[in-house]
Structure 1
Amino acid sequence: MKDDIVLSVVLYSYLDRPIFDVMLNGSGIGGANSYGGNGMITGIRVPFGKQALTWRLDGPPGMARNGETVAMKNPINLAAEQIPADAHYLAVNIYPDNTVEFVFDKYIPDRTPRGDQIIDKSERHGE
């Protein structure tokens, strides 16, 4: 049995500030603007088992916590059986409460329903 899978990774951040140095199990997967996504990083080796994801906070000069490294607070333990056989993409979704959701798909995954709600609320209420 394989120890990992190689995928193209797309990052979606639902934070109200930019992030950078996003690291998935030690591999850089980019950064994102406020409520944004970035390009795709191909050829990322994702091991099965416990996942580690960190990112650094950015923002305008003087913004609290700029440069601080944040780690996901929810555990993700990835098993081969969780990944569809035809999956080529992994969307990494980072939420404001520092939880993360992985979505696997044959094609580039869209934003999650939870992410759409966060963005919609921000656009309607300026939050």
Structure 2
Amino acid sequence: MSLTLGLAGCVGIGPNKTYVLTTTSFNYDPSYRPYMVKVNGYEVGGGYGSATMRSAVILGPQIITWGEDNSTRKHKAINVVHLSKEELKNKHYLSVHFYPDDRVEITTSNDIPDPTKKGIDWENKLK
């Protein structure tokens, strides 16, 4: 029975379904550029939405980590975003948004993603 359930997750049915989306990230802290942005260990695109890549995304809690280009500091999101089937089903893009307090937000869309209002407000406050 456990072998059957394990295989179900691998073939894309059940609670561990994997979606492949075009991913990008937005950093709203002007003091550094993030690199090696990972969601559950899978690298995602970056560059304030200008760099994208195809990435595997699973349902459930998302552990998000990233580094800074001008230091050895590593970040881990202080909040955990949970993705549901409804948020990923029939979507083409997934964006990770990093806020200066190390909180993150994930948005999904069918069109090229945009920065969030919250992120733009943070960025303007820090400039």
TM over 0.5: yes
Distance change >3 Å, CA 31–CA 67, structure 1 → 2: farther
Among 104, 108, 113, the residue aligned to 2:108: 104
Contact 1:14 1:96 in 2 (8 A): yes
For residue 63 of structure 1, what is the aligned residue in structure 2?
none
* Percent of pairs with identical residues: 29
For residue 50 of structure 1, what is the aligned residue in structure 2?
61
1:44-88 residue CA offsets vs partner (Å, 9 max, x unmatched): 1101111111011232xxxxxx212110011112110233x4310
Among 89, 102, 111, the residue aligned to 2:93: 89
Mapped partners of 2:94, 2:45: distance in 1: 14
For residue 62 of structure 1, what is the aligned residue in structure 2?
none
Mapped partners of 1:50, 1:67: distance in 2: 26
Structure 1: gaps (5+ residues)? 60-65
For residue 4 of structure 2, what is the aligned residue in structure 1?
none
Superposition CA RMSD, Å: 1.7
More helix by share: 2
Count of aligned positions: 112
Range with bigger deviation, 113-122 or 100-109: 113-122
TM-score normalized by the length of structure 1? 0.78
Partner amino acid, structure 2, of 1:74: N
Mapped partners of 2:60, 2:90: distance in 1: 20
3-state SS, counterpart of residue 19 of structure 2:
strand
- 1:105 shift after superposition: 0.4
Partner amino acid, structure 2, of 1:6: V
More strand by share: 1
Mapped partners of 1:41, 1:15: distance in 2: 22
Contact 2:95 2:107 in 1 (8 A): yes
3-state SS, counterpart of residue 44 of structure 2:
strand
3-state SS, counterpart of residue 10 of structure 1:
strand
For residue 78 of structure 2, what is the aligned residue in structure 1?
73
Structure 2: gaps (5+ residues)? 1-12
For residue 37 of structure 2, what is the aligned residue in structure 1?
22
Please say if 1:8 is aligned against 2:22. Answer: yes
Among 37, 40, 51, the residue aligned to 1:39: 51
